[in-house]
Amino acid sequence: MAVKKQEAAVQDAAAMTEAVQENAQAEKDTEIVHLFKDGHRYSEPVFVGVNGETYLIQRGVDVEVPKAIAEVLRHSEEMDNAAAEKIAAAEAAAVQQAQRV
């Protein structure tokens, strides 16, 4: 009987150690993000989905998210910036074209 209790205690300790290690690994796989917030267009939370997991990220506060979600948010910001640059270049070209006429 004492042997069974001791074995059960060892198994419980091993399970606890494994859970702590998984939790520590999960903590390392997160990042803190801060999304811009204003009173108009950028006031609503941002929906992000990766591999079937969905998140609604609040704006204006620091939020801890998995690295995959942080990467999606970074790529989204990069694409927004690239689009803004292309729009500005197209507008400048249109102004130059209009001035020639």
**pLDDT of res. 14:** 59
Q: Could you say which residues of the chain have pLDDT below 70?
A: 1-28
Provide the 10 A C-beta neighbour count for residue 63.
Answer: 21
Give me 69's structure tokens: 């979600």
Enclosing H/E stretch for 33? strand 30-34
What is the distance of C-alpha 68 from the center of its chain? 6
Q: How far is CA 95 from CA 25, 38, 59, 92, in A?
A: 54, 30, 36, 5
The whole-model pTM stands at: 0.64
CA end-to-end distance (rounded Å), the chain: 98
Give me 67's structure tokens: 């690295």
Average pLDDT of the chain to the nearest whole number: 84
